[in-house]
Structure formats: C-alpha cells, structure tokens
Amino acid sequence: MSEQLGPYRLLSRLGSGGFGEVHLALDQEGRTVAVKILHPHVAADGAALTRLAREVETMRRVRGPHVAEVLDASLDVERPYLVTRYVQGRPLSAVPVPVADLRLLARGLAEALSAMHEAGVIHRDLKPANVMMADGEPVVIDFGIACALDSLSVTASGAVIGTPGYLAPEVLEGRDAGVEADVFSFGATLAYAATGRQPYGKGPASAVAYRVVHHEPDLEGVPEWLAPLLRECLAQDPAARPTAARLCKELGAAAAPRGRRSPSAGTSQPSSAGTSQPHSAGTAQPHSAGRSQPFSGSTAQPFSGKARPPFSGTAQPPGFVPGRPADLEPVTRADPHAEPTREWQPGGRRTPEVERARHREKIRRRWLIGAGLFVSLLAAAAQDGLPQVSLFLLSAFTLGSLADAGVALFSRSPFKNRRMAADLGAIAGTGVLWWGMSTFFSPFTLTLFAVTALVVGVVFLMSA
C-alpha cells in the first residue's frame, strides 16, 4: 500500500545510500518524482540539517538536462526529505563497461559539472553510482548533498562522505576542497567508464586512498583522444586541473551560461533573504534574474526548510526534464544571455487515481493474455480425446471475456475502450491459437506443454 509523505505519495523503494532512502513517488499532479528520505542518524544532526536547508536554494538553481534537479524539500519535519526529478535508468556502475559511446558520456558529465559549478554547487561525491544512464545520456544525481552534510556527527554515525578512488587527494587529506575536487572525480569516473577498471585499483578503502594520494592512476586502455585530458583531471595539484568550462570546450559540450561566480573552497556563508550561499561555495551568486523561483511562478523567496506547494499544471518547475526528448520544449527566461531551460509539457492531467487505474489495467491485460494462452493450449490438447472439454473451455473463456467487456462498457474507467478491445482481441487470439495448435501438434505434445505450463504457472504464483 502506498504511503503519504507530505504532498507526495510514495510508490516504491528505489534504493538506499549513505544519506537516505530513495523512493519513487507521485506529486499531487500525478507526476513521478524521486523522494530521498534522510536516514534517522542524519536527520538527528541539527547542524547538518541547518546547513542543508541553507544550501537547498543554491542546489535548486542547478538546471540542465544532465542533472537531476532539486524540486522541493522539507527538512524541519519528523522525516526530512528532498525531492528531485526522477531519472529512469541504471547507474553507470551497473551498466556494461567500457561504455560504447564514451564521447556522449564525457560531454554530458562536463555539462553537468559546468551547470553545478556556475550555480555555486560542489558535488564532492561524483562517482559511477551517482551517474544515471537514461537512454545513453548521463544524468548526475545527489549533487551538493555530501558537501552540505559533511559534519563530524553525520560522518561518525556511519555515512561516508565520498568514495575512495573517486575522492580528490585534498579531500582525503582533509584540506580545503573546491570545484577542482569535482574535476578529479570527473576524471576518475570517465577512466572507469573507458576501461571498466577502477583507476586506483580495488581493495580496502585505506589502501585505495593511499594510492590516490601517492600513486599515478591506471589509464591503460583509455582512448588517445581522452587520455591526456583525464591525466590533467587526475593531477595531484588542484591548480593543475582544468575547469569545467575548459572540459566543455575540449569535449565540444555546451558550457553553462556565465554570470555566476564559481564556488570556492573553505568558506561558509549563511543565507540572507532572497539569496543563498553554498557552504563550500563561498561567494557564489546566481546570474541576473536567476534567483530560485517557487513552482507557482511567484516572486523569489528564501528557502524556509518547509515543503512548498507542488508545481501546478500551468507552471512547471524550471528545467524539469522527463525521460523522452519529445516532451521537452524551450522556456523563455528573463536573462537574454542565458541558455534556455526546458520544462515538461504533459498531454493531460495524470492524477494518482488515473495512475492506479492504468496500473490495474496493465495487470489485468497480462492476466487476460496468460489465461487465453493456457486455455487455447488445454483446449487443443483435449480436442481429439475430449472434444466436449475442449468446447467447454473455449466457451467459458469467451463468455468470461464478453462479460468483462460488458462491465467495461458501462464503467467510468478512462481505459474502458482499451479494456473492451483487449477482451475481444483475446477471444479472437485464443480461437486462432487453438486452431493452429490442434492442427500442427499432436495431443501428446500438447498435453506435455499444458502440464509444463501449469507447473510453471503454479511456481510463479507461489513465488509472487
């Protein structure tokens, strides 16, 4: 049964990380989002939550097709949570490597870094597990969370701030870390995608961290066009690493619009009314006319730590990008020099009730197809020896399907036409299958098929 968390209906658990548990959810308009519920030991750290609340407005300024935008947050409740765009895909750590289209991946990650750094956000936990692959395109998730929650109490409670092998040497040594640390993680992530190997090997975290600080990365097998750039990204000296803007230029990617100062290391500024400063981003400012806007399209307001009303059907969150490019349309922005963001223009209102009806219809259709296959198989097996049984099975299935179609005819379901078509199609398909199997297969063979299908069906039902 689905659970309600604020204005969001939790549908299923997607996974768990160092800071929270991620759920697929529906907002009040029936759109899918990802809700990250912070772990209890993280939620118990008041200082970390205060810092995260201060950074959420900055994180919400990050926009682009290669980042999972932060849409909403509620941090002063019993179960604090963040809401981001839902990205349907698999993490880079779970897809076959080496990656086939490495250039596409490199450009997408460079664009994501540029979008984050220009908005004043440092990811600091960029790694294959935080890069979702959606139709071959990379989308970076969880940006800014590790940076904002980097406190002694949270770390001591069990959350690891970053992953050795992808963390920059200055982070491992406890020095001030800025955007250069993300560039290092970018290089390590691409090295893994290009070779299928961890650039600093495997083993205990302490051993991997030692190799990061004292050894050169393993870049054997990286294509020649990429190896020199990755070697620069993985330099020990942060000042020797390229910027995100240069990465975009080298890889032919589109850099984020200028006008916002890049985050610097080691400073922390509290937010004031109307502005928000990232704790690791120092003096990062939004570009002109770029302050974070509530979803309703009203004037900019500072983030209060409370959940905001979900976006309505007439004003979508800027930069909300669903899975299919066909759903994307440009949106005019106030800054004429800024890149246009893109928003979702849905074909119609999809409420939670409609989503549940759609799901029930899908399950019913699957059962109808399975029942038709099984009935046609049994009827064909009984055709020669027990023709009356064969006729009874076909008649019973036909009458049941017609009755279901009649119920659909008088129902108010938005999918009643599909339901009626499925019932009539199942009747015709079952008859064709029965004739084909009884014509081309012997009764003995069909009986074996029927018994096997019955056993498999029983096992499947018991396991489900």
Residue 384: active-site member = no
For position 464, what pLDDT does the model report?
56
**Dist. CA 308–CA 106, nearest whole Å:** 35
Predicted pLDDT at 51:
83
DSSP assignment string, 206-243: HHHHHHHHHS----TT--TTTHHHHHHHT-SSGGGSPP
Mean pLDDT, range 404-415, rounded to an integer: 82
Q: Rounded distance, CA 447 to CA 453, Å?
A: 10
| Superfamily of 3-344 according to CATH | Transferase(Phosphotransferase) domain 1 (1.10.510.10)
Asked whether residue 452 carries a pLDDT value surpassing 90, the answer given is no
Q: Is the pLDDT confidence value at 126 over 90?
A: yes
Q: Spell out the alpha helix ranges (H) of 310-382.
A: 352-381
Tokens at 314, concatenated: 């007439």
In the block, tokens 């981003």 appear at: 281
Domain ranges for the chain: 3-344, 352-463
Higher local confidence (pLDDT), 441 or 238: 238
What are the strands of the beta sheet with 3-5, ordered from one edge?
A: 3-5, 8-16, 20-26, 32-38, 81-85, 70-74
Determine the pLDDT at residue 150. Answer: 62
What is the DSSP secondary structure assignment for residue 263, as one 8-state letter? Answer: P
Mean pLDDT throughout 222-227? 96
d(CA 400, CA 430): 13
* Highest-confidence segment of 28-37, 230-239, 336-345, 364-373: 230-239
Of 125, 142, 150, 182, catalytic: 125
User: Annotation-wise, does 306 bind a ligand?
Assistant: no
pTM exceeds 0.85, yes or no: no
User: What is the distance between the alpha carbons of residues 24 and 359, in angstroms, rounded to a whole number?
Assistant: 15
Residue type, 143: F
Q: Which of the residue ranges 171-175, 270-274, 387-391, 411-415 would you say has the lowest mean pLDDT?
A: 270-274
The pairing of strands 70-74 and 32-38 is: unpaired
Which pair of structure tokens corresponds to residue 195?
A: 């070779």
Task: Calculate the alpha carbon distances from 450 to 401, 416, 426, 456 in Å.
Answer: 21, 32, 19, 10
Q: Specify the amino acid at residue 126.
A: L
- The pLDDT of residue 180: 96
Q: Is the pLDDT score of 159 beyond 60?
A: no
Backbone angles phi, psi at 66, to 5 degrees: -110, 15
CB atoms within 10 A of CB 218: 15
The pLDDT value recorded for residue 144 is 78
**Can you give the length of the chain in residues?**
464
